[in-house]
Amino acid sequence: MMMAYGLFVFGLSTAAYQELQRQTDWRHQSQGRVGRRPARQFLGPGEDTITLTGTLLPQFTGGQQSLDQLRQMADQGAAWPLIEGAGTYYGLYVIGSLNERKSEFFRDGAAQQIQFDLRLERIDEDDSAQLASTAAMRALATGLAGALA
């Protein structure tokens, strides 16, 4: 297991990523002053975004169904915990975007190669309204079990 996002596990059989990029921002408000540089006040943490980039080879790794499962999670609009395989807990994240590019096609139009970029955006831990509900988890688990059958 490379990483778990809620009930979705990143790995060779699903969506192995080749690159993890994290950008963390902090907010500083600027206040103009006459004859001097602006004064700055620290307001706290800003955006925390993780981008996972990878290439799927459906003959050997996960394929389109893995990306479709991530889209189902994004459609719910819920936040899920993000935990790295080594045990690092990143926090609660929502899916901001999922971009995919297909190439090297078979005669039937199925792609031999699918590249993806998944952008995850952190939410505040105390924003319980965005947490994935038990019903959402059940629906996703049912969808995952159906996809695996």
Complete domains list, the chain, with CATH: 3-148 (2.40.30)
* Nearest by Cα to 38 from 28, 49, 50, 48: 28
Q: How confident is the model over 98-109, as pLDDT tens digits?
A: 999 999 898 998
- Categorize the per-residue pLDDT at 73 as very low, low, confident or very high, splitting at 50, 70 and 90: very high
Residue 74 pLDDT greater than 90, yes or no = yes
As a whole number, the mean pLDDT across the chain is 88
DSSP SS3 for 81: strand
Main-chain dihedrals φ then ψ at residue 138, nearest 5 degrees? -65, -45
Flag whether pLDDT at 143 surpasses 60.
no
Taking the model in full, what pTM does it have?
Answer: 0.80
Model confidence band, residue 142 (pLDDT cutoffs 50, 70, 90): low
Q: What is the rounded distance in angstroms from the CA atom of residue 149 to the CA atom of residue 111?
A: 22
Of all residues in the chain, the percent with pLDDT exceeding 90 is 71
